[in-house]
Structure 1
Amino acid sequence: MRSVSSFPPIVGPLLGVANVVVMAVAVVGLTVVPSSGEPVPSPQAALAAPPTEKPPQDPSAPAGTPSQAPSPSSTAGQPPGVAATPEFARQVKANEAGLVPVLMYHRIIAKRHASIDRTPKQLRQELETLAKRGYVPITAAEFATGDIRVPAGRFPVVLTFDDGHESHFRLDASGNPVPDTAAGVILDVARRYPSFRPTATFWVNREPFGLRDEAAQAAAVRWLVGHGFEVANHTWSHPNLGVLSKKKVQKQIGKVQRMLEKLGAGTPRTLALPFGVAPHPRELARTGKWDGTRYDFTGVFLAGAEPSRSPYAKNFPRGAIQRIQSNGKKGECRKWCSQYWLEWLDKHPGERYVSDGDPGRISIPSRLRGNIGAKWNDRVNAY
């Protein structure tokens, strides 16, 4: 049996082709875009099958687990810590060396103009599928740093939205997210599936969410950060960093870093590479400085086209983290997009990251002990 530290067999030989395909699709798409002290839960509760009732009962919650309404904190929907023992980890089939889907979205619009667009209905259906299958969202920064707080027996998923499009976030006259925006859909799904944590990462350019007024930009960014979302760096003007000078690369990244700090996002810890293309040298995507503003990212993300390795893996590519384009199984997406990969992970559960519910331990089957990076050795809980 192959270890999860290696790519699934279908991936390896075609990985380079897949990334080229994703890049090409992204370019075409952009050309048509207008602008602990808590009680420890029993293994039986963690392993219980999800009920089938409709909301208000959360159909994805393990039997006997109380539902929690989302809270507007940075840890909204996150479970209390548990103390995972090897026996507990075995019973919940924990595998924190497994693969994690990092899903990539672009515009969320009623009528798709490019293959990378998704409609609000399509987004809602995919999020409901994730909720029913036991996935719990975390941010890109939490994933990259290994701060994964997901209930025992469940699976982390990272929802990411590129370009800071107006379809991702807008507030209505009452100060609530517009229902058919990405944030609105996420919050609605979380209300109906309370175990589905309402969070995502929005990677923005120079006009976050299509807003030009600085006060409006600050209001949007602070609302999102205040409600547990991440707003981070996607460069100033979305260029191909691979053809820019070192100075221009650092300016593209540094300007957004400075803007987001000023708007109240804190210091962004993650970067999504435009078109998935890294600069030369690649290290400039992770660390650099422009006009007195420094950046030092915990994670740099690509544009596709497979699940990511665990952040605890010794070969975790912190400067080139894989993502999966959200889409059905058509055309080039027959093998490289979200429907294909979510089905693949269902069919290969031994390859998927399964949480032990204990953020202080890294629970894995003993055979995978050698896959974990040395910096995490004191946290390994092998069974």
Structure 2
Amino acid sequence: MRSSASLTRLIGIANVVVVVVAVIGLVLLPSSAPAPQVPAAQRVTPRPTGEPPAQVGQPPGVVATPEFARQVKANELGLVPVLMYHRIVTKRRASIDRTPAQFRRELEKLAEEGYVPISAKEFAAGDIRVPAGKSPVVLTFDDGHPSHFGLDAAGNPRPGTAVAIILQVAAKYPGFRPVATFWINHTPFGLPTEPEQAAAVGWLVGNGFEVANHTWSHPNLRTLPKKKVRRQIAKAERLLRKLGAGPAKTMALPYGSMPRSKKTARSGAWEGTAYDFTGVFLAGAEPSRSPYAKDFDRGAIQRIQSNGNKGECRKWCSQYWLEWLRKHPRERYVSDGDPDRISIPGRLRGKITAKRRPLVNAY
């Protein structure tokens, strides 16, 4: 992991050069293309709306001791990949697009390498509940594109969407928890009417997914005065609450661009609507620090763009970083399976945030 000075340079390079150019490309492309279809034999029937999502973790009563933590090589101060996705489309038309096949392969690789998805709000709050020896991963989707989610005539996730693929991979790999975070703007999933939007958001929230704030119209917040920043965030909050997903606990910055007043992104109010986020997410270049680390910044959480390792992505995107974490297992977050303890190698004792120190289980 690089120094804080290097981190600042990475944010500048990756967010401005890689993300802004690619997202502007998306804005200029039509967004109404139908999502790719998946053969009926590959479809997965989701659990009914309202049924509690499956919980992943150790059985009640299991306590991680130093001996057990050493056995599973737990390191809950390790790095966590927070993956950033945009459109999932059959034909890529922008550099940050991913095809359904690429998306599926990446999810299957994550499952095979012992990653378990958690939501952005769980991660930001430090509520990480994955089995011992496994690692958390956060799947995040910007802009609420139609390729992320939609309901078919039967009220099930439309085949070929990101949610349908996540469910299929979870069915193939039972330990792979079907959870992700969708950060939306004023027209979630390209749905034109409020009843359609409410049905989609209701299905997602009822099935354990997170739907949260990506501002009202996706502006570059750094170019706006404080009042307009608060207006952008608060208008999105009103929509989320109307649709049954608010108040949001997390927000992703459009283009990864921080307002001139960093505090305004984290909390504020506009015309009677207040917001207060547990975590604000950037547009990525590196894995995130553990939320238990004393240098973890909830107001500027790093993400990694999902992409190959060519060109601008040689050292910034998911293929590079997932391979790097595989080759450096001591740097990766590995769970002890006990949500009431934070297991770490003794050498890291001084790197944990003060309020978490009573929970430390060092070995």
TM over 0.5: yes
For residues 8 and 135 of structure 1, the distance between their equivalents in structure 2, rounded to whole angstroms, comes to: 26
Once the 2 structures are TM-superposed, how far is the Cα of residue 14 of structure 1 from its aligned partner?
Answer: 5.0
Once the 2 structures are TM-superposed, how far is the Cα of residue 28 of structure 1 from its aligned partner?
Answer: 3.6
Once the 2 structures are TM-superposed, how far is the Cα of residue 11 of structure 1 from its aligned partner?
Answer: 5.9
For residues 261 and 149 of structure 1, the distance between their equivalents in structure 2, rounded to whole angstroms, comes to: 27
Residues 128-165 of structure 1: CA distance to partner in whole angstroms, max 9, x if unpaired? 00000100000000000000000000010000000000
For residues 299 and 18 of structure 2, the distance between their equivalents in structure 1, rounded to whole angstroms, comes to: 18
2:104 paired residue among 115, 120, 124 = 124
2:25 paired residue among 29, 32, 35 = 29
Residues 324-380 of structure 1: CA distance to partner in whole angstroms, max 9, x if unpaired? 000011110111000000000001100000000011110000110111001111111
CA distance 1:9–1:260, change in 2 (3 Å) = closer
Which residue number in structure 1 is paired with residue 148 of structure 2?
A: 168
Secondary structure, counterpart of 2:315 in structure 1: helix
Task: Please tell me whether residue 332 in structure 1 is matched to residue 328 in structure 2.
Answer: no
Which residue number in structure 1 is paired with residue 263 of structure 2?
A: 283
Once the 2 structures are TM-superposed, how far is the Cα of residue 249 of structure 1 from its aligned partner?
Answer: 0.5
2:198 paired residue among 188, 213, 218 = 218
CA contact under 8 A between 1:325 and 1:338: conserved in structure 2?
yes
Once the 2 structures are TM-superposed, how far is the Cα of residue 276 of structure 1 from its aligned partner?
Answer: 0.3
Which residue number in structure 2 is paired with residue 7 of structure 1?
A: 2
CA contact under 8 A between 1:70 and 1:194: conserved in structure 2?
no
Which residue number in structure 2 is paired with residue 133 of structure 1?
A: 113
List aligned pairs for 1:1-383, cutoff 5 A.
Answer: 7=2, 15=10, 16-35=12-31, 75-79=53-57, 80-81=59-60, 82-383=62-363
Once the 2 structures are TM-superposed, how far is the Cα of residue 266 of structure 1 from its aligned partner?
Answer: 3.1
For residues 227 and 292 of structure 1, the distance between their equivalents in structure 2, rounded to whole angstroms, comes to: 30
CA contact under 8 A between 2:53 and 2:207: conserved in structure 1?
no
Query: How many residue pairs were aligned?
Result: 345
Q: Partner letter of residue 382 of structure 1?
A: A
Once the 2 structures are TM-superposed, how far is the Cα of residue 32 of structure 1 from its aligned partner?
Answer: 3.3
For residues 368 and 73 of structure 1, the distance between their equivalents in structure 2, rounded to whole angstroms, comes to: 40
Q: Partner letter of residue 30 of structure 2?
A: P
Once the 2 structures are TM-superposed, how far is the Cα of residue 22 of structure 1 from its aligned partner?
Answer: 2.8
Once the 2 structures are TM-superposed, how far is the Cα of residue 76 of structure 1 from its aligned partner?
Answer: 2.1
Once the 2 structures are TM-superposed, how far is the Cα of residue 214 of structure 1 from its aligned partner?
Answer: 0.6
Q: Partner letter of residue 7 of structure 1?
A: R
User: What's the TM-score once normalised by structure 2's chain length?
Assistant: 0.91
CA contact under 8 A between 1:70 and 1:77: conserved in structure 2?
no
Q: Partner letter of residue 78 of structure 1?
A: V
Q: Partner letter of residue 350 of structure 1?
A: R
CA distance 1:73–1:87, change in 2 (3 Å) = farther
Once the 2 structures are TM-superposed, how far is the Cα of residue 73 of structure 1 from its aligned partner?
Answer: 5.3
Kindly report the root-mean-square deviation, in angstroms, between the aligned alpha carbons of the 2 structures: 1.9
Secondary structure, counterpart of 1:381 in structure 2: strand
Secondary structure, counterpart of 2:311 in structure 1: coil
* 5+ long unaligned stretches in structure 2: 32-45
Once the 2 structures are TM-superposed, how far is the Cα of residue 280 of structure 1 from its aligned partner?
Answer: 1.8
Once the 2 structures are TM-superposed, how far is the Cα of residue 24 of structure 1 from its aligned partner?
Answer: 3.2
CA contact under 8 A between 2:83 and 2:305: conserved in structure 1?
yes
Which residue number in structure 2 is paired with residue 66 of structure 1?
A: none
For residues 131 and 88 of structure 2, the distance between their equivalents in structure 1, rounded to whole angstroms, comes to: 29
For residues 294 and 171 of structure 2, the distance between their equivalents in structure 1, rounded to whole angstroms, comes to: 37
Once the 2 structures are TM-superposed, how far is the Cα of residue 83 of structure 1 from its aligned partner?
Answer: 1.0
For residues 153 and 83 of structure 1, the distance between their equivalents in structure 2, rounded to whole angstroms, comes to: 14
Q: Partner letter of residue 32 of structure 1?
A: L
Q: Partner letter of residue 217 of structure 2?
A: S
CA distance 1:212–1:13, change in 2 (3 Å) = closer
User: What's the TM-score once normalised by structure 1's chain length?
Assistant: 0.86
Once the 2 structures are TM-superposed, how far is the Cα of residue 33 of structure 1 from its aligned partner?
Answer: 3.0
Which residue number in structure 2 is paired with residue 58 of structure 1?
A: none
Percent pairwise identity: 70
For residues 21 and 137 of structure 2, the distance between their equivalents in structure 1, rounded to whole angstroms, comes to: 23
* 5+ long unaligned stretches in structure 1: 1-5, 36-68
For residues 200 and 310 of structure 1, the distance between their equivalents in structure 2, rounded to whole angstroms, comes to: 18
